[in-house]
Structures are given as structure tokens and as C-alpha cells.
Amino acid sequence: MNPVGIALLNHIPAAPEVVLLVGACALMIFDLYVKDEGRRVTYAAAQALLALCAAITLYVFLRMILRLPEGQGGGYYVERYYLFNGLFVIDALAHLLKLVCYIAVSVALVYSRSYLLERGLLRPEFLTLLLFSLLGMMVLISANSFLTVYLGLELMSLCLYALVALNRDSATSTEAAMKYFVLGALSSGLLLYGMSMIYGATGTLTLTEVAQHVTRQAGSAADRSFLVFGVVFVVAGLAFKIGVVPFHMWIPDVYHGASTPVTLVISSGPKVAAFAMAVRMLVNGLPALAPDWQQMLALLAILSIALGNITAIAQSNLKRMLAYSAIAHMGFMLLGLLSGWTGGNWLNRIDAYSASLFYMVVYTAMTLGSFGMLLFLSHAGFECENLDDLKGLNRRHPWYAFLMMLIMFSLAGVPPTAGFYAKLAVFQAAVAADHVWLAVVAVLLSLVGAFYYLRIVKLVYFDEPVGTTPVRPQPAAQVVLSLNGLFLLVFGILPQSLMAMCVLAVARL
Amino acid sequence: MLLSLAIWVPILAGVLVLWAGDQRPQLLRWLALIGAIAGFLVTIPLWTRFNVDTSAMQFVELRPWIERFNIRYHLGVDGLSLIFVLLNSFITILVVIAGWTVVETRASQYFAAFLIMSGLLNGVFSALDAILFYVFFEGTLIPMFIIIGIWGGPNRVYAAVKFFLYTLFGSLLMLIALLYLYNKSGGSFAILDWHKLPLPLDVQIALFFGFVFAFAVKVPMWPVHTWLPDAHTEAPTGGSVVLAAILLKLGAYGFVRFSLPILPDASHHLAWLMVALSLVAIVYIGLVTLVQTDMKKLIAYSSISHMGFVTLGFFLFNAYGVEGGLVQMISHGFVSAAMFLCVGVMYDRMHTRAIADYGGVVNTMPKFASFMMLFAMANSGLPATSGFVGEFMVIMGAMRVNFWLAFAAATTMVLGAAYTLWMYKRVIFGAVANDHVKKLTDLNQREFLVLALLAAAVLWMGTYPLPFTEVMHSSVNDLLKHLATAKQ
């Protein structure tokens, strides 16, 4: 084969990004020539594009899974590959998270389709912005350099800012978009500042090289304090994107102000990407400074769990309540991320990071389900977004009431739902890392959290319905929503396969 | 295989009932009854094939479940747990019959909740893996929460949420204790392995408090009992029956399965505290019971007082105490179920639970009055009823430790008789109080059947308790031997 062919073949792991970019551009141009009635075609094309990307990712992933030699106990592993001069990394974590992102975006589209159609919001901008922000997430997930991190982050965020403002006649939407943009830009600034300091200390942008330099320099006190100074800003920037206290202010306003489909998008994929960013920058890039950033994360985690769970109780708007719940959940997720380096060794790292990853995957399913339910219960001229709108759902639709109950108990972490194992895994990681007190405090605060999830179950099951408006049949959304709910139940009874997948994904970080 | 059947048959029946829906109520009820009876039938071989000479786990099932954390689907029963599986399956039948025509709104969900809960409860009693235990233990909260919240009384939402949060609080602390033990034991959630795990005293004490909240809330022990009167008063009759007969036993069972064998030194070290709390429950709650004006609340408080006997027995560390505690648990399962059903029978007719609204019921409901007489006697611990056996054994056990301890415990004989019989007198005897009482009709066949079954059980256990105690002997002796050796 000629050298160009070999070079192309070597870049196949980056094919999903290329396909998505080309597809999204084509869709953008194609959309110009489509009348409003033809929107269904673009919608279907977008879904097909996502399916194609997922198929390619899955294919590459399966090809990259290798068997360990017999001597090392069998089992499987996935090699890491670096592309584009080390700017781009492809490993099991990247594959898994990208698959989660495709599914999240695709499911979000299914849920929001009729909502958007009824309100005339299924415009070409929506689909294109969504696909480009997905591209941003994918770049972020595979980033192995401060440059690619920033590129992916901005591509993702700028699209999201515009998406929040999509409903341009709504004052709350534009206000939310403004807040999101200003705070987002500020956080990007902080992140850049931190990156530039680390660059100044190490002289390289590639994360793997940064890791080597930092390990060498961490010994000397002067260099170390300079690096830690940079880490503080990096962590602050990350905290903004993940949405944990005290960098959480934008979350409730944006969740509340954006139209529900956009909230659904913001609450799922971008969080996954932000998680990937944290893993890439902290675990891959700055492992030698783990004792420092783990302390920072511990503080962020406890504050988020406390503030998120306690403030959520006071909310009467469902979207705001779920926003605070998201803050608390990201705190729980951090419990895993901060338990990798313990007692001077990395023995706990696989347990800890796979726990966080598992939490992230399960949380994505839960947040998709809860906002999906809101979309499903909304219809023309009616937004389901106050707690009272859920009253007596069991009388009207026992099956959706059941799904809602599953989602809520899963968010609260009650077995037999996947949310329980997510909490179990992160608590186990924390206890194994000797953070017993952290786990105890988190556990007690999750009790506080259980209260407001229970309140929703109470509204759904115990109260009399107020309105009698029937839910409009949306066959695709019905099926997907049911699958979404059952996902939480099935992986609440048999979580092994998903857990094993998460272990595989972080085994070679 | 038998234990799996005991767990999954009721759960599958529950799902089937849910799926059948409310369109054909008659079919639905029969389906629920068949499910409950099938659930009971599969537990009978457990009893007949049980080997009483060994303290080892029997009918063991062991399969990998979540390899990631070495969590296994590990089931088995010994003398401590066998009877509760049977008791639970038996009570489920009664609950289904008792709710036959009473529940009209969303009957499919009602019966399904009870069947699913029955399966989960069997799971709690037979789980030998800590996480499996925890999943079942927590899982039972969901159906009970729904039962209280949907079919309960006027203040049901408050009661349901209080019930859920109290129990969740305890079990979350237990979860951390379980995770700690998992790490200390080198990655095993097997309860039986933990029994052999050496632990220093200070760690044992910390873990003991981790467990004690979970189990004490469930028992419930003073001062974390306050959820129980609310839950009982608001729950529908069936809910109260299962709550009193089975759910309260989870806490006490937790003590003998986790706290005592895993943390023997801490148990000895803190026995004074547990004994003191038990005595408070027996004496103080006994006095509180006297002044109740609501029948369900009265029985709820009397349950707390009776369960005080169970925890007292366990922390005496002798055979009489532990066996007496277990016998008391079973007896209380029958008696409290019967008492709540009796109140349910009256409530269905009069729609009030206040003692003051009754009087002279014997004139209109003679059959009912005789049944209730028997159960009231059993509740106050009269010889020849099941209530006597357990209390007597625990008092004997207490006597071996300290006379005054036994003396304080024995006050329950007086207090129990006082509050039960006084309530009985005010409700049943005397002149017909009002027109509503005058219009009362006596038991129908369905109610008669339920109460007769329980009456037979109470008398059988009161006159010939050997079959019940015989099953426990080896396991209790083994537990005591284990407790006697320190493991620090």
C-alpha cells in the first residue's frame, strides 16, 4: 500500500470525528434548501449520522480490544493510540464516553422532537449546533494536549451558548444564555491561565509530556508550588464546566432558562465531556500532583453534595430542582475521582476511576430520563416544569408513573436501581482510600437528597391529579423512555457488565 | 433452589398481578391469592427438610453476581432465619385475604406491592452476602412506602416519608460499615467470612454504631421509635400487619446476623447500653401505651415494648435470652398481626380507630369478641398463649444475669395486661355505646378464616413450642459459643 493509504488507515480511530464534521456541514447546507415540512428528513438524517458515527466508533473499539497473554491472567485490554503528533488520544475511555455521548444526543433528539415541532423550534440551527457541540465533546474526550482540550471545550460551549438562546423571543432564555456565556468565558479564562502556568513550568502542551515533566519537577519545592498554583486554576476551570460548588451559579439559571430540550442536552453530554476533560488533565496530565488536586476535589465534592442536596429541597420548579440535584450528583462523582492516589500509591486507581465513570454513565441515563419525562408530559401550550404538574400521574398513566418512580429512586440511590450501585462504587472507592469520614458525610447528605426525590414519588403516586390533559402519543419517545427507565432497573439488578466495561475503560489510563 | 423459589415466586406473582390490571377485580384477587399460597407452599419443604442437628447454613445457593466487587448471590438459612421465611410467607396469605374486598382503589397495585414485598423479605432473611442483604433490606422500603402513601389514612404522606427517611438514615450508615468490612476482609462481602474476621475493639465499637442505627430504627428501639406509631396509624390494615409482623423483625434479625457474631467484643462492651435502651422500651413505652386513645397507636406502642424484650434477650448472652428473643419475635409476628387485623375488622365497619367511639361490641359481634379476647390475652403474655413463652424465657435469662434486671423486665407482665385488657374492656364490654355499634355485623367467613388461622398458630405455639425452639437450638448454641470467644 502506498504511504498515503497507510497514513489514512492509521487515522481511522479519528474517523467518527471526521464523519461527523462532514455530515454536520452537509446537513447545514442541505437544510438551506428544505422547507419546514421537510424538517423530518433532516431530523432523520441527523439520527442516521449519529448511528453511523456510533457504528464506526464501535467497530474501531471492538477491533482494538486485545486479549491479555495467558501469563497475565487472561482478560482483555485496549491499547492507547496517539494521533496527530500526540494531540489526539484514542483509548477505551474515549470510545466508551463517545458512545455515551452519541446515545445521549440521539435520545435527547427523540425526546424533544415533538416538543420542538409543536413550538416551531426544530429549526436547522438546532440540529447543526447540536451536532457541532457533539463534535466539540468528542474532541474534548480524545484530547491529549492543552490545545485540543481548549479547542474541544470552546467548540462545545459556544454551540451550547447559542442553543440556550435558541428561543430568542423568551426573555428568560436570553438572560440564561447571557449568564452562561459570561460565566463560561470567565471559566475558560481561568482554565487558560492555569494551562499557561503549567506550560511555563514544563515547556510543553502535550499532556503525556506534561506528566513526565511534572513527575520530575514535583520533587523540588519551588517548582512544585508554581505548578500547584497552576493546578488551582485548572481545577477551578474544570469545576466550572462540571458544575460543582462554588462554581455552580450558572447551573440553576441555565437549566431553568433554557427550553427543556436544551436543558436535556446540557445536562447529559457536556457533563460526560467535562468528566473526560478532568480525567485527561488531572489523571493523565498531572498525576504527580494528585495529593494536591485530590484535596481540592474533596472540598468541591463535599460542598457540592451539601449545597446541591439542601438547596434542592427549597425548589418548586422541577428544572431548578434537577439542576441542584445535578450539582449534588457531580459531587458524588468526584468522590471517585479523588480517591485514586492513596497512601503513597496508585493501587486504588482502577477502582476509583471506574467508579466515577460508572457514576457518570448511570447519571447520564438518569438525567436523560428525568428531563425526558418532563418533555413527554409537556404539550402544546403547556410546559411541565413545576412540581405540581406531576400530581397524580399514577392515576393517569401508571406506566410512566412507574418509570418516574424508578428514575427518582435511582437518583436517590435506593436499590434495586442502577443509582444504588453508582453510589456504592464511589463510596467503596472513598472508603478504600481511607476517606471514611468523607463517605460518612456524603452518605448522610444523600439522605437529605432522598427527601426531595421522595417528594416527587409522593406527588406522582399519592396526590390526586389536577389536570386531566391526556399525554399525546409519541411512539418513538414512548419506547425510548421505557427503555431508559428499564435500563436503570436492569442495571440495578445485573450491573456487572457495565461495571466491567468501566474497568476496561480506565484500566490503562 | 428452594430459597430462590421462596423469593422469586411471590415477586413474579406480583408482577403478574400488576400486569393483569384492575379491569377484572375478581380474577385479580384470585391471582394474588394463588400467588401468595404458591409462595407459602414452596417454603414448606424448607421446614420439613431442615436438619435441626446442625448450625451450618442449609439450602445454600451460591452464584457469582457482581464479580467486580466480589458480590455473590449467596442464599442459605439456619435456625435463626428459617422460621421468619415461613412466617413471612404465611402472613402474606392472610394479608391478601384480609384485603380481599376492602381495597377497591388500584387493587392490582395493592396486591402486587404486598407480593413483591413478601419476596424481598424472604430475600432479607436468606441472604448471606452483605450487599444482597442490603439490596433486599432497602428494597422493602419501596413497596411499604407506596402502601402507606396510597392506601393510608389522612396523614399518610407524612407517615410514609418519615418511615422512609428514618429507615434510610440507618441503613446508609450500615452501608459504610459494610464497605469498611469489605476492605478489611480483603474484598469479601460474605457475612460468614466476616464472622471470623479479627477486629480491634475500637474498630468494632465504631462498626457497632454503624450497624446499630440501621437495626435499632427497624426494631424500633427507644429513642428512634417515633416513626412507628405514625406509620402504623396511617398504614392500611395489611400494611400494619406486615410492618408489625415482619418488617420489625428485620432489625432484630440484623442484630443476630451482623452485630453479635461480627462484633462480639463490642457487643459485650456495649451490652449495658442495649440492655438499658431495651428496658426503657419495655417500661417507659409500656406506660406510654397505657394512655393511648387510638387503638392502632396503642398496639403500635405495645409492639415497641414487646420488641424491647427481643433486644433485651439478645444482649443477655445466654441461651434462654437469645432463644427467648427469637421466640418472642415469632410470637409477636402472630399476635401483633392478629391485633391489627382485629382493629381492621372494626375499622372497616365503623371507620374510626378511637377507643372512645366503641363500647359493648360484644353484644353485636360475639364471635369477633372471643377471638379478640384470645389475642388480647396473648398480647399480655398469658400462659398457654405464644406471648407467654418468649417473655418467660427472656425473664429467665435475665434472672441469670441479675435479679433486678429480671424484675424490671417482668413489669411488662403487669403493664402488658393493663393496657391490653383495659383497651379490650373499653371497646368490647359495657353497654352498647352508640347507634353505630348497634348496627355492627359479626365476622364474615373471610375474616373468620383469617382470625382462626392466627388463633390456631397462637395456641399451638403457646402450648407446644418445641417445634419452634428445636429448630433454633444448634444455631443459638453456636452463636453463643462464638460470642464467648473474643476476636480482637
Q: What is the DSSP string of B247-268?
A: IHHHHHHHIIIIIHHHSHHHHH
Domain contains B322: yes
Contact yes or no for A496 and B65 at CB 8 A: yes
**Cβ of B16 under 8 Å from any chain A Cβ?**
no
Q: Are the C-beta atoms of A331 and A300 separated by less than 8 Å?
A: yes
- pLDDT attached to residue B355: 83
**Candidate from A414, A416, A439 with C-beta closest to B176:** A439
Domain contains B206: no
Q: What's the total number of domains in chain B?
A: 1
Residue B71 three-state SS: strand
Residue B373 class from Cβ within 10 Å (0-12 exposed, 13-18 middle, 19+ buried)?
middle
Calculate the alpha carbon distances from A35 to A31, A41, A45, B18, B341 in Å: 8, 10, 15, 47, 68
**Predicted ipTM > 0.90:** no
Pure H helices in A397-435:
398-412, 418-432
pLDDT surpassing 80 at residue A7: no
What is the mean pLDDT of the segment spanning A16-41?
83
Tell me what the pLDDT averaged over chain A comes to: 86
Phi, psi of B74 (to 5 degrees): -120, 110
Distance of alpha carbon A209 from alpha carbon B349, whole angstroms = 80
First to last CA, chain A: 33
- Looking at chain B, which residue has its C-alpha nearest residue A443? B172
- Partnered with residue A83 across adjacent β-strands are A88
Domain contains B137: no
What is the mean pLDDT of the segment spanning A181-187?
91
Domain contains B170: no
Question: Which residues does chain B have with pLDDT short of 70?
Answer: 486-488
CB neighbours (10 Å) of residue A7? 10
Instruction: State the smallest CA–CA distance between residue A316 and chain B in angstroms.
Output: 18
What is the mean pLDDT of the segment spanning A316-322?
89
Distance of alpha carbon A244 from alpha carbon A325, whole angstroms = 11
- Per CB-CB distance under 8 Å, the chain A contacts of B180 are 431, 436
**Candidate from B156, B164, B176 with C-beta closest to A440:** B176
**Cβ of B33 under 8 Å from any chain A Cβ?**
no
Contact yes or no for A499 and B179 at CB 8 A: no
- pLDDT attached to residue A220: 73
**Cβ of A444 under 8 Å from any chain B Cβ?**
yes
- Looking at chain B, which residue has its C-alpha nearest residue A501? B68
pTM score, two decimals?
A: 0.90
- Tens of pLDDT, residue by residue over B158-176, are 888 888 888 888 888 888 8
**Cβ of B176 under 8 Å from any chain A Cβ?**
yes
**Cβ of B60 under 8 Å from any chain A Cβ?**
no
Q: How many helices (H) and strands (E) does chain A have?
A: 20, 4
**Cβ of B148 under 8 Å from any chain A Cβ?**
no
The position carrying cell 431508559 is A484
Domain contains B409: yes
Q: Which of A353, A423, A447, A499 to mutate to test the interface with B (most CBs of B within 10 A)?
A: A447
Contact yes or no for B160 and A458 at CB 8 A: yes
- Per CB-CB distance under 8 Å, the chain B contacts of A440 are 173, 176
Contact yes or no for A415 and B135 at CB 8 A: yes
**Candidate from B65, B169, B176 with C-beta closest to A427:** B176
**Candidate from B66, B160, B161 with C-beta closest to A495:** B66
CA dihedral of residues A273, A277, A278, A282 (deg, nearest 10) = 160
Parallel, antiparallel, or unpaired for β B58-66 and B71-77?
antiparallel
Residue A255 class from Cβ within 10 Å (0-12 exposed, 13-18 middle, 19+ buried)?
buried
Distance of alpha carbon A363 from alpha carbon A242, whole angstroms = 13
Phi, psi of A166 (to 5 degrees): -55, -40
- Per CB-CB distance under 8 Å, the chain A contacts of B183 are 428, 431-432
**How many CB pairs below 8 Å do chains A and B form together?**
93
Distance of alpha carbon A405 from alpha carbon A402, whole angstroms = 5
Q: Are the C-beta atoms of B371 and B455 separated by less than 8 Å?
A: yes
The position carrying cell 447540536 is A130
- Tens of pLDDT, residue by residue over A448-491, are 888 889 888 888 888 888 766 666 667 888 888 889 989 999 99
- pLDDT attached to residue A300: 92
Contact yes or no for A503 and B68 at CB 8 A: yes
* Confidence band of A329 (pLDDT split at 50, 70, 90): very high
**Candidate from A414, A436, A458 with C-beta closest to B141:** A414
Q: Where are the domains of chain A?
A: 3-506
DSSP secondary structure code for residue A345 in this structure: B
**Cβ of B435 under 8 Å from any chain A Cβ?**
no
- pLDDT attached to residue A63: 81
The residues, any chain, with a CB within 8 Å of residue B72's CB and separated by 6 or more, are B62, B63, B64, B65, B129, B132, B189, B190
pLDDT surpassing 60 at residue A1: no
What is the mean pLDDT of the segment spanning A241-260?
88
Instruction: State the smallest CA–CA distance between residue A432 and chain B in angstroms.
Output: 6
pLDDT surpassing 80 at residue A219: no
**Candidate from B67, B106, B165 with C-beta closest to A447:** B165
Compare A242 and A396 and report the one with higher pLDDT.
A242
**Candidate from A416, A447, A496 with C-beta closest to B139:** A416
Distance of alpha carbon A243 from alpha carbon A184, whole angstroms = 11
**Candidate from B65, B149, B179 with C-beta closest to A427:** B179
pLDDT surpassing 70 at residue A380: no
Residue B352 three-state SS: coil
Residue B60 three-state SS: strand
What is the mean pLDDT of the segment spanning A31-50?
80
Domain contains B372: yes
**Candidate from A416, A425, A461 with C-beta closest to B135:** A416
Retrieve residue A204's grid coordinates: 510543553
Retrieve residue A500's grid coordinates: 466491567
**Candidate from B65, B134, B156 with C-beta closest to A462:** B156
**Cβ of B214 under 8 Å from any chain A Cβ?**
no
- Tens of pLDDT, residue by residue over A52-103, are 999 988 888 888 877 777 666 567 777 788 888 888 888 888 989 999 999 9
The residues, any chain, with a CB within 8 Å of residue A219's CB and separated by 6 or more, are none
Q: Which of A462, A488, A506 to mutate to test the interface with B (most CBs of B within 10 A)?
A: A462
Distance of alpha carbon B174 from alpha carbon A107, whole angstroms = 37
- pLDDT attached to residue A331: 92
- Per CB-CB distance under 8 Å, the chain A contacts of B165 are 447, 450-451, 454
**Cβ of B392 under 8 Å from any chain A Cβ?**
no
- Per CB-CB distance under 8 Å, the chain A contacts of B142 are 405, 409, 414
What is the mean pLDDT of the segment spanning A250-256?
90
Task: Find out whether the peptide bond into B261 is cis, omega within 30 degrees of 0.
Answer: no
Distance of alpha carbon B406 from alpha carbon A313, whole angstroms = 48
For B146, what's the count of Cα atoms within 13 Å in the CB-facing half-sphere? 24
Contact yes or no for B165 and A454 at CB 8 A: yes
CB neighbours (10 Å) of residue B247? 22
Distance of alpha carbon A436 from alpha carbon A420, whole angstroms = 18
- Partnered with residue A65 across adjacent β-strands are A78
**Candidate from B109, B135, B165 with C-beta closest to A450:** B165
Q: Which of A313, A362, A395, A458 to mutate to test the interface with B (most CBs of B within 10 A)?
A: A458
- pLDDT attached to residue B488: 59
**Cβ of A416 under 8 Å from any chain B Cβ?**
yes
Parallel, antiparallel, or unpaired for β B71-77 and A65-67?
unpaired
- pLDDT attached to residue A472: 66
CB neighbours (10 Å) of residue B236? 22
- Per CB-CB distance under 8 Å, the chain B contacts of A427 are 175-176, 179
DSSP assignment of A55-100 equals HHHHHHHHHHEEEPPGGGTS-EEE--EEETTTTEEE-HHHHHHHHH
Tell me the residue range of the domain where B387 lies. 273-488
**Cβ of A421 under 8 Å from any chain B Cβ?**
yes
| Helix, strand, coil abundance in chain A, percent, nearest 5 | 80, 5, 20
Instruction: State the smallest CA–CA distance between residue B34 and chain A in angstroms.
Output: 24
Instruction: Tell me how long chain A is.
Output: 509
CB neighbours (10 Å) of residue B396? 17
Instruction: State the smallest CA–CA distance between residue A296 and chain B in angstroms.
Output: 23
CA dihedral of residues B257, B260, B264, B265 (deg, nearest 10) = 140
Contact yes or no for B165 and A428 at CB 8 A: no
Tell me what the pLDDT averaged over chain B comes to: 87
- Looking at chain B, which residue has its C-alpha nearest residue A491? B66
Q: Are the C-beta atoms of A319 and A255 separated by less than 8 Å?
A: yes
Instruction: Please name the amino acid found at residue B260.
Output: L
